[in-house]
């Protein structure tokens, strides 16, 4: 047994010197130190060792095992390039490895800033699905079947989802869902993604976000609408901000207007179109079972990307969705 142990040690240590890669090192470990390895193989020979030699041989067995294990550990560190390798001095003046931390997307940030402003004005937050039906996206919003806004080229209809499923083209769908589920009076905003097959350019994207507002009560007027938008404009764009309405048309509001806000852009005040608004059309109130003789309301829908682009001086909407972390990191 003595010779067998000496041979294992010698053989093991010699072979280890020639090993330079992790695979061969693992093979070596299995061969010498593994549970069916050479060291384990000689164990049964202990039975035949005379009793008085057993302590001495036992001690040798341990020494061989330890020698092989520590040689293995040393080889492992040099093969895997462990930090205990002090042959390469460390230059402590080198800049460290920088870690990239995540950040909020500028659209998320804008949404998180907008919601509390309306919250302070008494608006609750409502949600609606992005996959909608024609009732919520068009019919209840007083958009007739032959209206061009319902055509296949203006919308993402979903194949195989039933004839009338589509990705919502506006957050006005949530107006209908809220009114169907609750009794007036009410004041809600809803923020979310909408989808239109628009050609991408500096101000248009096929997926964008809107913030929708809806207030229903008795005797609501355009003054309430304009005051709400004005308060928002001042809170978000600063004390000099103004709101202007230009006559327009939406099937679900009467009268309707485009909303422009006057805000500082690169040091000068400018008018910028942000969305649409108007007084809720009586046909819409009827569609959800509200009595238009008793209830009145206003609604508005603003583009979040357009708000964010003006607020943060972003010239091209496409930059928001190119996922360049260096660009997006500026607005965290």
- Phi and psi angles of residue 250, each rounded to the nearest 5 degrees, phi first: -135, 140
C-beta closer to ligand FA5: residue 12 or 303: 303
Asked whether 191 and 110 are in contact (CB, 8 A), the reply is no
Cβ closest to ligand FA5, residue 9 vs residue 210: 210
Contacts of 279 (CB under 8 A, 6+ apart): 220, 221, 222, 225, 253, 254, 255, 296, 297, 298
> From the CB of 273, what's the least distance to ligand FA5, in Å?
6
Q: Rounded to the nearest whole angstrom, what is the least distance from the CB of residue 297 to ligand FA5 in the complex? A: 10
Residue number with the smallest Cβ distance to ligand FA5:
303
Please report the DSSP string for 217-274 in residue order: ETT--HHHHHHHHHHHHHHHH-TT-EEEEEEEEETTEEEEEEEEEEEEETTEEEEEEE
Return the number of the residue (26 or 224) whose C-beta is nearest ligand FA5: 224
Q: How far is the CB of 242 from ligand FA5 (least distance, A)?
A: 17
Instruction: Please name which of 140, 302, 285 lies closest in space to residue 220, comparing C-alpha atoms.
Output: 285
Q: Which residues bind ligand FA5 (CB under 6 A)?
A: 170, 172, 196, 198, 204-205, 208, 210, 212, 250, 253, 256, 273-278, 299-301, 303, 305-306, 317
SS3 87: coil
Residue placing its CB nearer to ligand FA5 in the complex, 9 or 169: 169
Write out the DSSP string of 167-180: E-S-THHHHHHHHH
- Residue 19 or 308: the one with the smaller Cβ distance to ligand FA5 is 308
Minimum distance of ligand FA5 from residue 129's CB (angstroms)? 16
The nearer residue to ligand FA5, 61 or 245, going by C-beta atoms, is 245
CB of 307 to ligand FA5, least distance (A): 8
Q: How far is the CB of 160 from ligand FA5 (least distance, A)?
A: 25
Helix (H, G, I), strand (E, B) or coil at 42: helix
């Amino acid at each position: 047994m003595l010779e067998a142990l000496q041979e294992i040690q010698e053989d093991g240590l010699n072979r280890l010197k020639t090993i330079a890669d992790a695979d061969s090192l693992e093979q070596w470990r299995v061969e010498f130190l593994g549970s069916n390895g050479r060291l384990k193989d000689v164990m049964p020979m202990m039975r035949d060792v005379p009793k008085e030699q057993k302590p001495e041989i036992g001690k040798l067995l341990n020494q061989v095992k330890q020698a092989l294990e520590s040689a293995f550990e040393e080889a492992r560190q040099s093969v895997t390039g462990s930090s205990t390798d002090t042959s390469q001095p460390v230059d402590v003046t080198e800049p460290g490895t920088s870690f990239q931390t995540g950040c909020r997307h500028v659209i998320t940030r804008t949404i998180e800033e907008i919601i509390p402003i309306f919250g302070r004005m008494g608006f609750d937050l409502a949600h609606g699905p992005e996959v909608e039906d024609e009732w919520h996206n068009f019919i209840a919003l007083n958009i007739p079947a032959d209206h061009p806004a319902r055509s296949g080229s203006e919308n993402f209809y979903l194949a195989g989802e039933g004839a009338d499923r589509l990705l919502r083209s506006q957050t006005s769908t949530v107006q209908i869902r809220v009114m169907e589920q609750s009794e007036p009076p009410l004041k809600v905003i809803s923020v979310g993604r909408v989808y239109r097959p628009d050609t991408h350019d500096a101000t248009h994207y096929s997926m964008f976000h809107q913030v929708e507002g809806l207030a229903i009560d008795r005797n609501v007027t355009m003054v309430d609408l304009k005051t709400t938008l004005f308060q928002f404009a001042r809170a978000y764009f600063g004390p000099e901000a103004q709101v202007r309405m230009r006559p327009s048309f939406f099937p679900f509001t009467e009268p309707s207007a485009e909303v422009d806000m006057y805000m500082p852009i690169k040091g000068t005040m400018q008018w910028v179109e942000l969305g649409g608004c108007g007084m809720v059309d009586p046909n819409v109130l009827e569609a959800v079972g509200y009595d238009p003789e008793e209830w009145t309301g206003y609604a508005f829908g603003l583009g979040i990307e357009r708000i964010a682009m003006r607020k943060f001086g972003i010239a091209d909407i496409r930059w928001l969705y190119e996922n360049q972390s260096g660009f997006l990191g500026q607005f965290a």
